[in-house]
Amino acid sequence: MRKLNKSSREIAVKVLKANGYKLTKQRQSLIDILFEFEDRYIELTKLDQLMREKYPKMSHNTIYRNVKEFATIGIVEESQSEVDGKTEVKLDCNEQHTHHHHFICNNCGKVRGLEMCPLDFFEEQLPGAEITGHHFELYGLCAQCKKELSKVG
């Protein structure tokens, strides 16, 4: 198991506590598992499986409820897989706790945060409208996978 990023772990725990949640050993384990996959999304069913290996008596509902709570307070992002529509989750907290979007490599699955949000562009095209939410992701090949795949083909 690789070494965990302590600053990101501290941020997640800080946000959890600031929102009135206790840091139970199960929640700490959930954070630890998410940190193991911090550069990519993990299927919710896989996360559930890993948690239940550690805590066999823990219910699916408890795991899913905690993931939803983590998403609500902004330390986990949920997404639907472009391939099969399954729910995927990713630890997604940073020091600034800022709004951002992602580029996801279709080959290796790594996720990279994007600095710019395109919402302003769309708001200009919808004068008078009230946009209440949005979700934006880019998919493709990261530079490393593109380079490696071009060597093969």
Residue 142 known to bind ligand: yes
Task: Give dist(CA 128, CA 124) in Å, integer.
Answer: 9
User: Residue 41: what residue type?
Assistant: Y
CB distance 97 to 15 below 8 Å: yes
Residue 117 known to bind ligand: no
Cβ neighbours around 67 below 10 Å, total: 20
Residue 134 known to bind ligand: yes
CB distance 139 to 112 below 8 Å: no
Task: Give dist(CA 22, CA 47) in Å, integer.
Answer: 20
Task: Give dist(CA 77, CA 38) in Å, integer.
Answer: 11
As annotated, the binding site includes 99, 105, 108, 134, 142, 145
As annotated, the binding site for Fe cation includes 99, 134
As annotated, the binding site for Zn(2+) includes 105, 108, 142, 145
